């Protein structure tokens, strides 16, 4: 077959293997080593690992080293013929599984693959680990068989990886719902002493220790903190309102759902978030104490009139507060009277202005120049005094004033020239 046919045959197989094909697979498809060499020299193939080629027409895949190493475990078998749990195939595990799951930042210098029976490899950067795997411990990520997050964390603890890195993996896996703390605690408890905890330490203790070491926190811990804060707020509320505590003590029995809803309203959080906390744990004692206290209060069958009256009073407005707000918004009578007086005309000022307007213009101008009149009065007389002056002065007086070189000959009589 010609070069185009060779490339088409390889492309059809590589399409389901991330653009990769092994030398053994190419031979099974009818191509020999010389043809593969010529395709490589032509730039159509790229040798990315010993016995593994990449078609240049395909996009470079992520985690190329992991995929090439996995293909080399069974170089003559195509990926679609190697289902998860195949006895001769491997499963990506440990730090390499964290890379595929995108969990944490644990270093992964080698490609780690778990195989069901002992095998060896000459690849310097591939590490094969022998261990049995149940099908429930295997998942598929990007077409590769990978250990689940729970099994991956257990493998890392067994290999005594760095606790801080494992704590980061646990926190991120829990946030993404790849694990449950209850299930993980059962699997990791045997490794508690390896990380400095006492022999009596539980799997929960180890998880909390590792997550804290990583500087992270679990959603469960965040809910526990909110629960404790809510419990403290509830105690404070009952201390401030003893009538409410009495009413709760005499309230009718409620169903479990009603009791939880009432407790949720009292605590200010959603107790549905605590449903996953089926185990007893020291950090959840606050919520448990509230639930127990409310259950002990529900021992009378009939509704409590005291509770109904207390709730009715809480819904009513506060008369004292309403009266205080009304008093603040009501204008002061003294202020209203003062404003009214200011708006009324001043008889004395009116009479003084009338008298000043009747004065001889010459006298008026003299008073202005001497500063006997205040600026406010002078401003008030500007419009009133000028017309009156022009009507009262005879023409001869005006001409005489101009001939005498009066300093204000360029201004109307009565205008302030200061």
pLDDT at 293: 52
Averaged pLDDT, 351-373: 67
pLDDT in tens, 61-90: 999 999 999 999 999 999 999 888 787 889
Is residue 273 domain-resident?
yes
User: Is residue 308 scored above 80 in pLDDT?
Assistant: no
State which of 309, 337, 361 marks the end of a domain.
309
Task: Based on the fold, state whether residues 223 and 301 are members of the same structural domain.
Answer: yes
Q: Which domain range does residue 367 map to?
A: 349-403
Which pLDDT score, from 0 to 100, does residue 54 have? 95
The larger pLDDT score, comparing residue 120 to residue 372, is at: 120
Q: Do both 300 and 375 map to the same domain? A: no
317 contact partners, CB below 8 Å, separation of at least 6: none
Q: Is residue 370 part of a domain?
A: yes
| H-state helical runs in 84-125 | 94-101
User: In which band, very low, low, confident or very high, does the pLDDT at 334 lie, cut at 50, 70 and 90?
Assistant: confident
According to the per-residue pLDDT averaged within each range, which of 190-204, 287-301, 326-340 is highest? Answer: 190-204
User: Total domain count for the chain?
Assistant: 2
pTM attached to this predicted model: 0.55
Among residues 147, 144, 143, which one has the least CA distance to residue 158? Answer: 147
Q: Does 395 or 48 have the greater pLDDT score?
A: 48
Q: What pLDDT is attached to residue 217?
A: 86
**Is 389 a member of any domain?**
yes
Angle ∠(106,109,113) on CA atoms, nearest 5: 90
Q: Report if residue 84 sits inside a domain.
A: no
Contact 290, 263 (CB under 8 A): yes
Answer whether residue 34 is part of any domain: no
Q: What is the pLDDT of residues 121-142, one digit of tens each?
A: 888 899 999 999 999 999 999 9
| pLDDT at residue 123 in the model | 87
Question: Greater confidence, 160 or 347?
Answer: 160
Query: Taking the alpha carbons of 71, 74, 76, 81 in that order, is the dihedral positive or negative?
Result: negative
DSSP letters for 121-171: ---TTEEEEE----GGGEEEETTEEEE-HHHHHHHHHHTT--HHHHHHHHH
In a domain, 385, yes or no: yes
Residue with tokens 């005594």: 160
Inter-residue contact 362 to 369 (CB < 8 Å): no
User: Is residue 409 in some structural domain?
Assistant: no
* Whether residue 393 has pLDDT greater than 90: no
Among 20-24, 237-241, 321-325, which is the least confidently predicted range? 237-241
Task: From 309, 326, 360, give the residue that closes a domain.
Answer: 309
51 three-state secondary structure:
coil
- Please report whether residue 117 resides in a domain: no
User: Using an 8 Å Cβ cutoff, are 36 and 26 in contact?
Assistant: yes
Residue 255 confidence (pLDDT): 58
- The pLDDT score that the predictor gives to residue 243 is 62
Q: Are residues 272 and 354 in the same domain?
A: no
Regarding whether 298 and 227 lie in a shared domain, the answer is yes
Question: What's the rounded mean pLDDT across residues 379-407?
Answer: 48
């Amino acid at each position: 077959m010609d070069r185009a046919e060779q490339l088409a045959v390889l492309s059809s197989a590589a399409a389901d293997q991330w653009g990769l094909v092994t030398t053994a697979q190419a031979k099974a498809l009818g191509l020999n080593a010389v043809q593969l060499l010529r395709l490589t020299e032509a730039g159509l193939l790229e040798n990315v690992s010993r016995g593994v080629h990449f078609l240049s027409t395909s996009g470079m895949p992520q985690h190329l080293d992991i995929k090439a190493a996995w293909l080399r475990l069974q170089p003559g078998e195509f990926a679609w013929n190697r289902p998860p749990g195949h006895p001769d195939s491997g499963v990506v595990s440990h730090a390499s599984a964290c890379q595929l799951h995108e969990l944490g930042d644990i270093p992964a210098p080698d490609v780690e693959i778990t195989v069901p029976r002992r095998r060896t490899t000459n690849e310097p950067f591939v590490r094969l680990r022998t261990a049995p795997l149940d099908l429930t411990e295997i998942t598929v990520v990007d077409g590769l068989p990978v250990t689940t997050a729970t099994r991956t964390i257990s493998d890392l603890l067994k290999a005594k990886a760095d606790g801080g890195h494992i704590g980061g993996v646990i926190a991120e896996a829990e946030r993404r719902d790849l694990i449950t703390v209850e299930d993980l605690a059962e699997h990791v408890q045997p490794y508690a002493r390896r990380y400095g905890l006492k022999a009596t330490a539980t799997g929960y203790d180890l998880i909390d220790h590792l997550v804290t070491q990583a500087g992270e926190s679990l959603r469960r811990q965040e809910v526990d903190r909110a629960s404790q804060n809510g419990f403290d707020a509830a105690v404070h509320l009952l201390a401030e309102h003893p009538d409410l505590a009495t009413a709760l003590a005499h309230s009718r029995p409620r169903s479990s759902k009603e009791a939880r809803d009432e407790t949720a309203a009292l605590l200010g959080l959603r107790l549905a978030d605590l449903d996953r906390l089926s185990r007893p744990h020291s950090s959840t004692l606050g919520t448990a104490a509230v639930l127990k206290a409310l259950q002990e209060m529900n021992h009378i069958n009939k509704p409590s009139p005291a509770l109904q009256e207390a709730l009715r009073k809480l819904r009513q407005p506060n008369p004292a507060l309403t009266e205080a707000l009304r008093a603040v918004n009501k204008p002061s009578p003294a202020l209203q009277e003062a404003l009214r007086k200011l708006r009324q005309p001043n008889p004395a000022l009116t009479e003084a202005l009338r008298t000043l307007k009747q004065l001889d213009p010459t006298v008026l101008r003299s008073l202005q120049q001497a500063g006997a009149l205040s600026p406010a009065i002078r401003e008030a007389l500007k419009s009133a005094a000028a017309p009156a002056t022009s009507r009262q002065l005879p023409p001869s007086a005006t001409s005489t004033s101009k001939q005498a070189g009066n300093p204000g000959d360029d201004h109307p009589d009565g205008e302030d020239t200061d």
